[in-house]
């Protein structure tokens, strides 16, 4: 939670993929919390989360939000559920808004169903 400032983080993991920076690799910075396996890589210029090789090269971690096309990769699992906020299950039933809510009504009809389908 402290890493992302949120109760959720979406990451892709691979034990066989490799990472090669086409550009901007010199801007990548990382932070590893002492005494843990947790590491976070980010752009030193803008702070955006970026992919990183962790666990002495055994694991590639890709923040899903760093990808251009995320709809093709729906999450297959939830991990660390034992640490979930008590209210987390209620999020699925919360009102949905297409954009930042003002006086707009929550999404309804086929647009909401399509959004739900993409999220499930």
Q: Please, what are the averages of pLDDT over each run of 10 residues along the chain (120 residues)?
A: 71 89 93 83 94 88 87 83 86 86 64 51
Percent helix, strand and coil across the chain, each rounded to 5?
20, 20, 60
Give me the pLDDT at residue 116, please. Answer: 52
Helices (H), 11-76: none
Model pTM?
0.67
């Amino acid at each position: 939670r402290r890493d992302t400032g949120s109760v959720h983080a979406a990451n892709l993991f691979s034990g066989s993929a490799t990472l090669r920076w086409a550009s901007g690799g010199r801007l990548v910075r990382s932070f590893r919390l002492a005494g843990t396996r947790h590491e976070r890589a980010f752009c030193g210029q803008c702070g955006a989360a970026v992919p990183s090789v962790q666990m002495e090269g055994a694991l590639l971690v890709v923040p899903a939000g760093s990808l251009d096309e995320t709809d093709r990769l729906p999450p297959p699992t939830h991990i660390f559920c034992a640490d979930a906020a008590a209210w987390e299950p209620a999020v699925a039933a919360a009102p949905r808004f297409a954009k930042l809510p003002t006086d707009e009504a929550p999404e309804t009809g086929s647009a909401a169903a399509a959004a739900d389908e993409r999220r499930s």
